[in-house]
Amino acid sequence: MKRALITGASKRIGKAIAGFLAENGWSIVVHFNSSEKQAKELSETLQLKYPSQSFAIAKANLLNTDEVAELVPNIISRFGEFDLLINNASVFNGGAIKETPDDLFEMQMNVNLKAPFILMRDFAKHCKRGNIVNLVDTRITSNRSDFAAYSLSKKALWELTKMAALEFAPEIRVNAIAPGVTLPPADKDENYLNSLARKTPMKKAGGVEPILKSIGYILDNNHLTGQLLFADGGENLGTAPGFANQER
């Protein structure tokens, strides 16, 4: 039975990834931190829909290094080794360099970079074969500093993706997906999303579908490693003609 661990899978993009993988025959461990109710509901719904696969939840606060280090060994002791790690969980806080306090910097780095580092290391050590997919962000192509710590954490996660792809090959393939305008942040609505999306080359928000198709492509292509798929409607190329160019 092929099994995946998806971090931050109780809601939004992580939940959509769980649904997509379940539909494609995967058993899933839904990782969560604060969203226990949603994680349980998702796992139970998927279990009802796909009774021959197995679905479970696992809690870890990715800010806490001890909890992160226990996650992979705990899952293996409960279910055995698994075949796919998706580093999806993240925190997304704005602030230019001059406006970024130490604790915000540390939070971004711990959840978005250090936790994936530990999970990738432990997956490679204990599971020894399979796939890792890291969710980065099309912002990594830009030097805009409005989300300085977040953008740096994702730039570094992409560098880690390539480093791990080289070290872990050929047993483990490691790739990344860079979403663009996908879902509005929790405190913003669709209007906010659409106002950003109309400046992108494809002129609309992509929703989760381009991310899910990218995951399918990565899993199907067994010679692909160390690669980044932009699921961003061309946002990495620059601003659409007719809009003032944003500095990249």
Ligand X SMILES: NC(=O)c1ccc[n+]([C@@H]2O[C@H](COP(=O)([O-])OP(=O)(O)OC[C@H]3O[C@@H](n4cnc5c(N)ncnc54)[C@H](OP(=O)(O)O)[C@@H]3O)[C@@H](O)[C@H]2O)c1
Tokens of 157: 């996660």
Two tokens, residue 99: 């406006």
Whether omega for the bond prior to residue 170 falls within 30 degrees of 0, making it cis, is: yes
- Indicate which single residue of 42, 137, 141, 215 sits in contact with ligand X (rule: CB under 6 A): 137
Of positions 27, 43, 88, 151, contacts ligand X by CB under 6 A: 88
Which one of the spans 44-52, 61-69, 70-78, 222-230 is the region binding ligand X (CB under 6 A)? 61-69
Please identify, using beta-carbon distances, which residue of 111 and 127 lies nearer to ligand X: 111
d(CA 14, CA 38): 12
Query: Does 92 interact with ligand X (rule: CB under 6 A)?
Result: yes
Calculate ∠ Cα 20-179-76, nearest 5°.
Answer: 50
The answer to whether residues 201 and 9 touch, using CB atoms and an 8 Å cutoff, is no
Total residue count of the chain as it appears in this document: 248
Query: For ligand X, which residue of 4, 5, 8, 114 counts as binding (CB under 6 A)?
Result: 8
Binding segment for ligand X (CB under 6 A), chosen from 10-18, 43-51, 161-169, 234-242, is 10-18
Which amino acid, one-letter code, is at 66? D
Closest approach, Cβ 223 to ligand X, in A, equals 25
Q: If you ran DSSP here, which 8-state letter would residue 115 be given?
A: H
- The piece of 56-64, 96-104, 125-133, 165-173 that touches ligand X (CB under 6 A) is 56-64
| Residues of the shown chain interacting with ligand X in the complex, contacts defined by CB under 6 A | 8, 10-14, 32-35, 61-63, 88-92, 111, 135, 137, 179, 181-183
